[in-house]
Amino acid sequence: MKLNKIEHIGIAVKDIKEASRFYEDVLRCQISEQIEVPERKIKIAFTEISGVKLEFLMPTDKGSVVAKFIEKRGEGIHHICFEVDDVEKATAELKDMGVELVDDSPRLGAEGKKIIFIKPKSTHGVLIELKER
């Protein structure tokens, strides 16, 4: 498998509006409209800096994995996403190599592209997302 680029960096925040006070007012980033992802009980929003996005993840429910992440570790970097050409192929390769994945097979992300997450256990502590080009 070949990683094309860092597609985005996921940042867990308690409140996207609150976070925009720093990211928009201080860093002058433009944060997109919030997108609801009901199956993960989060809302997300993006900003882009020369082709690399920041993905803000805000829990909408205490039961969300992002809420649990913030409870345990506080706000901050949640995952790094790399772009690959073929997520199905990458998933098969990872499985062959015994790498632990969060889901059994790829699913569609909020932007309608195939994604898969690799467990931090297999990556020296970083939740890695692979996203199809």
- Which of residues 10 and 59 has its CB atom nearest to Zn ion in the complex? 10
Binding region for Zn ion (CB under 5 A): 10, 55, 81, 129
**Toward Zn ion, which CB reaches closer, 55 or 132?**
55
Q: Which is it for strands 52-59 and 42-49: parallel, antiparallel or unpaired?
A: antiparallel
Q: Is 90 exposed, middle or buried (0-12, 13-18, 19+ CB in 10 A)?
A: buried
- Look at phi and psi of residue 121 and say left if phi exceeds 0, alpha if psi is from -120 to 50, else beta: alpha
Q: Give dist(CA 117, CA 21) in Å, integer.
A: 30
Our CB check for Zn ion shows the closer of 83 and 129 to be 129
Nearer to Zn ion, 20 or 56 (CB): 56
Q: Tokens 């997450």 correspond to what residue?
A: 117
CB of 113 to Zn ion, least distance (A): 11
Q: How far is the CB of 8 from Zn ion (least distance, A)?
A: 6
Q: Which helix (H) or strand (E) holds 70?
A: helix 65-73
Of 66 and 81, nearer to Zn ion (C-beta) is: 81
β-partners of residue 55 are 10, 46
User: Closest residue (Cβ) to Zn ion?
Assistant: 10
Query: Rounded to the nearest whole angstrom, what is the least distance from the CB of residue 73 to Zn ion in the complex?
Result: 17
- Closest approach of Zn ion to the CB of residue 50, in Å: 18
Length of the chain: 133
Instruction: Provide the minimum distance between the beta carbon of 126 and Zn ion in the complex, in angstroms, as a whole number.
Output: 12
